[in-house]
Amino acid sequence: MRSVTTEEPLVRRNGFTIIELMVVLVIISLVAYLSIPRVEEWVARQQARQFAAQLIAEFSKAAALSRTNQNLPQGGVTLPSGTAITKAAIYFMLPLERNYHILARTDSQAGLANWSPTNPTEQVLKTVPLPGRIMIHSVNNATSGPVVIAFTPSGEARDKSCASFPLSPMSCGTTYSSKPYAARIVYKASLRLTPPIFYQLEVNSFGEYRLCQSIGNYSFNETADSEVKSL
189: which strand partners? Answer: 134, 197
In a domain, 57, yes or no: yes
Query: Are 122 and 115 spatial neighbours (Cβ–Cβ below 8 Å)?
Result: yes
pLDDT, residue 18, reads: 82
pLDDT, residue 107, reads: 67
d(CA 169, CA 183) in angstroms, rounded, equals: 10
Written as tens digits, the pLDDT of the chain (231 aa) is: 555 555 555 555 566 788 877 777 777 776 666 666 678 888 899 999 999 999 999 998 888 888 765 444 444 455 555 455 668 889 999 998 899 999 988 765 666 677 888 887 788 999 999 998 999 999 988 899 998 888 877 777 776 555 555 577 778 888 887 777 888 999 999 988 789 999 999 988 777 889 999 999 988 988 889 988 766
In a domain, 148, yes or no: yes
Number of domains making up the chain = 1
β-strand pairing of 197-203 with 183-189? antiparallel
Residue 159's φ and ψ, nearest 5 degrees, are -95, -175
pLDDT, residue 74, reads: 47
In a domain, 92, yes or no: yes
β-strand pairing of 209-215 with 226-227? antiparallel
Query: Are 52 and 211 spatial neighbours (Cβ–Cβ below 8 Å)?
Result: yes
- Asked whether the bond before 166 is cis by omega within 30 degrees of 0, the reply is yes
In a domain, 217, yes or no: no
d(CA 77, CA 99) in angstroms, rounded, equals: 18
pLDDT, residue 97, reads: 87
d(CA 201, CA 76) in angstroms, rounded, equals: 28
In a domain, 104, yes or no: yes
In a domain, 114, yes or no: yes
Which range of residues forms the domain containing residue 156?
A: 18-165
Q: With helix as H, strand as E and coil as C, how does 134-157 read?
A: EEEEEECCECCEEEEEEECCCCCE
Please tell me the pTM assigned to this model.
0.77
d(CA 19, CA 226) in angstroms, rounded, equals: 49
Residue 144's φ and ψ, nearest 5 degrees, are -150, 160
pLDDT, residue 72, reads: 47
The closest of 98, 179, 85, 105 to 134, measured between CA atoms, is: 98
d(CA 155, CA 115) in angstroms, rounded, equals: 17
Q: Read out DSSP for 72-107? A: --BTTB-PPTT----EEEEEEEETT-SEEEEEEE--
In a domain, 196, yes or no: no
- DSSP 8-class letter at 218: S
In a domain, 190, yes or no: no
